[in-house]
Structures are given as structure tokens and as C-alpha cells.
Amino acid sequence: MSTIPKESIVTITGGTGSFGSTMVRHLISQDIQEIRIFSRDENKQDSLRNQLKDERVKFFIGDVRDKQSVDSVIRGSDYVFHAAALKQVPSCEFFPMQANLTNVIGSSNVIDSAFSFEVKSIVCLSTDKAVYPINAMGMTKALMEKVAYSYARSFPNSRTKIAVTRYGNVMMSRGSVIPLFLNQLINGEPLTITNPHMTRFLMSLQDSVELVNYAFTNSNSGELFVRKAPGCSVGTLVQALIEIVKPKISPKIISIGVRHGEKEFESLLASEERARSFDEKEYFRVPLDTRSLDYHSYFDRGQPVSDNGNSYTSSNTRQLDVQETVELISNLPEYISTKGK
């Protein structure tokens, strides 16, 4: 759990999203002085404000693309969780420059403000799609990571500590595939799947919060953290959801083919990163590459090669069968809360 000191001021960019709103609820259970929600969607802010009804939660309208609005919310903050991003793969494929403006330039604005105002710690949220990226969303999130590492490398004596976390698909989050499949099953519609052999990591919102807390608590500046997660194939996921919903009529399953920028499996660690990583039971920690621009010494002697050089992917992680997937999804608080609707 988080060890943020009492009376701290915490800012969450993208604070009305799936992760952000979950983190807010986690923080208000603690003795936090103030939680600042920074986002550009006033409707989501109003909805979350009415749900929480907590005077410690302050709402700021703004956009990470606008440095002035970023400065205004981060000034005076002790801790920052940077979750604001364009996350939908198809939309980023069609509008890559918009993804760049939010995910790269916007992230740079947030990180620069955090270092300028000497916040104690900032954790930046990334994605499995940043590993060997083939789509604009993954490419821009990979560049966001590089910006974070560059600040840690350039300001080793800064009072601000920065860390990066990566996680895979968050089950039941907005825009994810599980709510789509559930709605199709409940409404008696055909299930539209991409490829039944594709594999994906399965993480809960609580897992993502615990990962960020772990990075906040344990990181040295510039480190990357990954939480180990099980995986399953799309076909297994579909069969599990059919068993959960138990529709009266067996649904028709239509394969629509691979969408823009999708992979057969996802990676949370590249082989090069895993070779440098430390296995910490439920997590991988990857230290900052502190090499300078002076590469002269590497002409004569490079880095040693590790035997632990396999990528960490949704295909070589622990695979869940149908019943294990049923149990995992059925016990999600986010799923349980939808059953009466």
C-alpha cells in the first residue's frame, strides 16, 4: 500500500480516467491533505465530484499540452501520478500527431513542471505497447518513457525522483474489450473478436494501483517497474465470458481480423530490458541506463551479456485456462458492481 506521508498534496493527471479515479479512491482512505485532479473533461470531473463528496479532492480543468495549466496544478504538489494520455490504438493510428502532442509533449510538460517545482516524486504510467512498438500509441508512450529517463539521467542530484511503470490491459477499464464482449453477450449480439489466438495480459485496476505504489515506495530515480501478470488467449477470454453470462442462446462469434496496430501478443519487458532487470517476486525492476554521451569506452569494452534475455510477453507468462479466467473476472469489484445494472 502507499506510504505517502500525512498532510501531503498529491496531483493526478488524467485523474478522471479508470486508473486515476481508482487511485483517488485509494488516496482518500488515507490522511492526505489534498488531492488535485487534473483533466480536460468537465463532465467526468463533475460526475467524480458528486460520487466522492470529499473536500480534500480539488478539480482542475486543463490539458497537459498547455504548460501554463500544468504549472498551475503542479506548483505546490508533493507527489505526482502522471496518467493523462491518449490510449486508444485506432484513434492514435489515425491521428498520430494528436497522440504525440498529448503523450510526448504533454508528458514532457508534466515532467518538466515536476522537476521545476521540486516535487518529491513523480510516477509516469506507461503501457506494454511501448515495447517493440508497432503503433502510434505505443511509439508515443515509448518516447514518454525516454523523456522520463532523460530527466533522471540529466538531473541525478535533483530533489525530484521519477519512475516509470508499465502494465498491460486493465480488465473492465473504459474502452477495454471485456465490457464490449459483456455488452454484446447481454444484448444477444454477435461477439466480434479479432483473432482467437492472440494473447493479452490480464491485470485489475487494483493491480495497477499496487504497481504504482510499489514504484513510488521502492524506486531510485529513472527506474522502470513491471508487475507480473497472467495472460490468456482471446479465445479463452471469450469462452470464460460466455460461461459467466450464460446467455440463453449460444452467441455467434465473428472474427473481424486484426485492427490497426495490433500485435499477436504483448510484451511488458523487451529482451534487452529483462537482461538488466531484477526479479522482485511480483515485480521486475529495471535500473536506469546511466551511460553518458561519451561512448569512447564502449568501443573497447561493452556491457556483459546476460543469460536472462527473453522478452516478458503475454504468451510466455503464466497462461490462464477458461475456469481460471472465469474466477479472475467474476471476483473483480468492477465486474461485481455492474451485475445489478
Instruction: Give the separation between CA 230 and CA 176, rounded to whole angstroms.
Output: 17
| Strands of 134-282, DSSP E | 161-167, 191-193, 199-201, 223-227, 231-233, 253-255, 267-269, 278-280
Could you tell me if 71 and 113 are in contact, meaning their C-beta atoms sit under 8 angstroms apart? yes
DSSP code of residue 37: E
> Terminal CA-to-CA distance of the chain, rounded, Å?
31
DSSP code of residue 298: H
Quickly list H helices, 76-176.
89-94, 96-99, 107-116, 136-154
Distances (CA, A) of 319 to 200, 232, 299: 10, 5, 42
Residue with cell 535533483: 158
Could you tell me if 15 and 85 are in contact, meaning their C-beta atoms sit under 8 angstroms apart? no
Report, as residue numbers or ranges, the catalytic residues: 129
- Phi/psi region, residue 315 (left: phi>0; alpha: psi -120 to 50; beta: rest), is alpha
Instruction: Give the separation between CA 289 and CA 292, rounded to whole angstroms.
Output: 9
Kindly state the cell numbers that stand for 116: 521545476
CB atoms near residue 119 (< 10 Å): 23
Instruction: Give the separation between CA 308 and CA 331, rounded to whole angstroms.
Output: 34
Q: Would you call 1 exposed, middle or buried from its count of C-beta atoms within 10 A (0-12, 13-18, 19+)? A: exposed
